[in-house]
Amino acid sequence: MFFSIDPNNGIAIYEQIVRQVKFAVADGVLIPGQLLPSVRTLSVQLAINPNTVAKAFQILQTEGVCESLRGRGLAIRSDAVVQCNQARRTLLVERLRSAISEALHGGLSTKEVRRLMLDQLGLLDGNVATVASPVGSVADESEPA
Amino acid sequence: MNDAIKIHGIEMHYRGCDALRGIDLSVAPGTVMAILGENGAGKTTLIRIMTGFQKPSKGTCSILGLDPTVADQVLELRKRIGYVSDSPALYDWMTIGEIGWFASSFYPEGFKDRYQEFIARYDLPAGRKIKQLSKGQRSKVALSLALAHDPELLILDEPTSGLDPIVRREFLESMISVAATGRTVFLSSHQISEIERVADTIAILHKGKVQLVGPLADLKESIALVTVSLSDPLIALADLPEPSRILAEITEGRQKQLIVQGDGDEAAAYWREATGVLGAQSRSASLEELFVACTRGDSIYKRVTEPSNPSTLEAGKS
């Protein structure tokens, strides 16, 4: 997989690596059983301090996204996909919340915000390509009035 | 664990100029320490003292356990460190191959072979004379010479200034390779984006003193940029309750921008309650903003955190 690291966007570099690995698993770019590159290889490839990469890998291990395969390195766990989907969903909710918050802070009423969101949804529905394993796999809840 | 570098109370006084006015630094082995400073802040002077090319006016310095002011020890030290400066001094009339052969006489067996590996990796033609090389190629020769004896400590004094992005990237990758094998790297640089990628610990040097030092990750997490909008530019803001504090402050029109050590959101919330404040927002400060704050305007000496022992390389190492 390819990483896209931006030291300047306010998110700690190790956190960017963690998120991107999780998204890659959710997207099917990284599959269960696949090995992650070694700390050394990845740190040179990304031109990032190896301790930062090690920290990201430690977090991924602790959170059960990957596990140590004796003598080979870290491999993605088979039960990681569900978890990574969940992580992606959480992040999307956060972003949505941030956008709504900004709209409300800017002076829009709840009614206006809801209308804008439904408008946008109407424009986008059916026009956006979905990833391999979409987040909304649970039965959709009924729309609020 | 013994520190790879231990600098205590180093001062350097010239007639008419105090280059260093009391430097304290320690660098744990296996970490990358970057010092930032404007031109003339004293970075090169410090490095010259560390490598034994200059005796300090005051203070002590221990590099890999050796004292660079003592003749026997400094020779031993130079065998164990690799040094690259911003304008490497090489014998122009020698070829790339010849200078490697020449340098190999100062080091143990194996230097020549490893040097050959490096110049091959960096695409350097062994038969070309040094005076015919581009700036980037010269720097790569200097880097090859510095790495060929597998030094425990790599000291780089603005090695990539004036070099193109590709060469800079190659330097960055070598620094990281060195760090990944548990060696220590001491880097003086202006390239803030590179430092953000590669450093474990940073120190900001200004006017001959260390203004800020600490692990980069902790620094970034604990420093915020708070922008406060006021109804009137004459309104003053109260100092923050402990343990947070203001590191620097700039006023522009009816807005103040403050670099805060502590929780930025809490600081913004605190000031939002004050009289005359229309709004306050917080975001994380970039290293560049931090650097500018420490070297301009109301900068105050602030030690953020003590450089802690580095976390050992764990998961994924194969």
Distances (CA, A) of B74 to B66, B79, B169: 7, 9, 31
The pLDDT of residue B152 is 94
Does any CB of chain A come closer than 8 Å to the CB of residue B121? no
A119 vs A117: CA distance, rounded Å: 5
Q: Which amino acid is at A78?
A: S
Nearest to B251, CA basis, from B219, B298, B294, B290: B298
**Touching B: A residues 11-40, CB under 8 Å:** 12-14, 36-40
Query: Distances in Å between the alpha carbon of A90 and those of A21, A109, B283, B317?
Result: 15, 25, 21, 30
Shortest CA gap A129–chain B (Å): 33
Q: Is B286 on the interface with A (CB under 8 A)?
A: yes
Separation CA B299–CA B186 (nearest Å): 25
**In the block, which residue shows the tokens 């990358």?**
B32
Cα distances from A34 to residues A25, A87, A120, A132, B250, in angstroms, run 10, 19, 38, 17, 51
Which pLDDT does position B297 carry in this prediction? 53
CA atoms of B102 and B235, how far apart (whole Å) = 67
Search chain B and give the residue with CA nearest A11: B284
pLDDT, position B1: 62
- Which chain A residue has its CA at the smallest distance from B183's CA? A50
Q: Tell me the nearest-neighbour CA distance from A125 into chain B, angstroms.
A: 34
On chain A, the residues whose CB falls within 8 A of the CB of B284 are 10
Whether A9 and chain B come into contact, CB under 8 Å, resolves to no
Q: Does B311 touch chain A (CB under 8 A)?
A: yes
Q: Which helix (H) or strand (E) holds A64?
A: none
Place of tokens 């990201």: A56
CA B254 to chain centre: 36
What confidence score (pLDDT) does residue B303 get? 34
Amino acid A136: pLDDT: 55
Put simply, the answer to whether B193 touches A7 (Cβ < 8 Å) is yes
The CATH class that applies to domain A13-80 reads mainly alpha
Place of tokens 């800020």: B212
- Extract the tokens encoding A2: 């390819």
Crossing angle, helix B135-147 and helix B96-104, to 10 degrees? 20
Is A50 at the interface with chain B, CB within 8 A? yes
pLDDT, averaged per 10 consecutive residues of chain B (318 residues), comes to 88 90 93 91 92 92 93 91 90 95 92 94 93 93 94 93 89 90 91 90 91 88 90 88 84 89 91 90 87 67 34 28
Residues B229, B233, B236: CA angle, nearest 5 degrees: 85
With an 8 Å Cβ cutoff, are B316 and A55 in contact? Answer: no
Closest by CA to A56, choosing from A135, A3, A112, is A3
Nearest CA in chain A to B288: A8
Give chain A's residues under pLDDT 70.
131-145
Cβ of B141 under 8 Å from any chain A Cβ? Answer: no
Question: Within 10 Å of residue A93's Cβ, how many Cβ atoms?
Answer: 11
Residues of chain A contacting residue B286, judged by C-beta atoms under 8 Å apart: 8
Asked if B199 and B287 count as a contact pair (C-beta separation under 8 A), the reply is no
Length of chain B: 318
- Phi, psi (rounded to 5 degrees) for B181: -95, 15
- Asked if the Cβ–Cβ distance from A43 to B180 is below 8 Å, we say yes
- Residue of chain A with shortest Cα separation from B170: A47
**Measured torsion, CA atoms of residues A79, A81, A87, A90, in degrees rounded to the nearest 10:** -110
Candidates B220, B284, B314; nearest CB to A54: B314
Look at B316 and A49 and tell me if their CB atoms are within 8 Å: no
- Peptide bond preceding B241 in cis form (omega within 30 of 0): no
Q: How many beta-carbon pairs below 8 A join chains A and B?
A: 90
- The closest CB to that of B315, out of A10, A47, A57, belongs to A57
CB of B35 closer than 8 Å to CB of B90: no
Element (H, E) at A76: strand A73-76
Q: Does the beta carbon of A69 lie under 8 angstroms from any beta carbon of chain B?
A: no
- From chain A, pick out residues whose CB is under 8 angstroms from the CB of B222: none
Give dist(CA B47, CA B77) in Å, integer.
13
Domain ranges of chain A: 13-80, 82-124
Nearest to A40 among B169, B180, B284 (CB): B180
Q: Across the interface, which of A14, A44, A72 has its CB nearest the CB of B318?
A: A72
